[in-house]
Amino acid sequence: MTVTDPIADMLTRIRNANQGLKESVELPASKMKLEIARLLKEEGYIEDYALVRGESFDNIVLDLKYGENKQRVISGLKRISKPGRRVYARKDAIPRVLGGLGISILSTSKGIMTGRQAERVGVGGEVICFVW
């Protein structure tokens, strides 16, 4: 029996579209995915995102961001906490990505936020993924 992980699916779609230098990527919507998209936009990893209402289900469209000469802004994405093995971080042990060059995304009791925001607020939580 395989358990499909919607967040891992989202990261894989972004990774594949980024690798293929696509302008945008469309994926099924959820509240958690919308929050991750919001953080990616705030941190400057994507151009923009939009929620597209459908008849039976909603989609999120992410507009990927590239530098001059189609240089990728997102070099990598990695899912950390998985359904089979959850990974949590205390408020004083929030992981740093590439010495502070990347971001860690955490699901905390105060909502989904980056590692830096979680340190500022003083909360820990489940480490969802790393982006660099």
- Please tell me the predicted confidence (pLDDT) of residue 120: 95
Residue 99 CB neighbour total at 10 angstroms: 6
> How far is the CA of 50 from the CAs of 27, 33, 45, in angstroms?
11, 11, 15
Domain 6-131 has CATH 3.90.1150.10: no
CA distance 55 to 35: 22
List of the chain residues with pLDDT < 50: 1
Domain residue ranges of the chain, discontinuous segments joined by +: 6-131
Q: What is the pTM of this model?
A: 0.91
- Please tell me the predicted confidence (pLDDT) of residue 88: 97
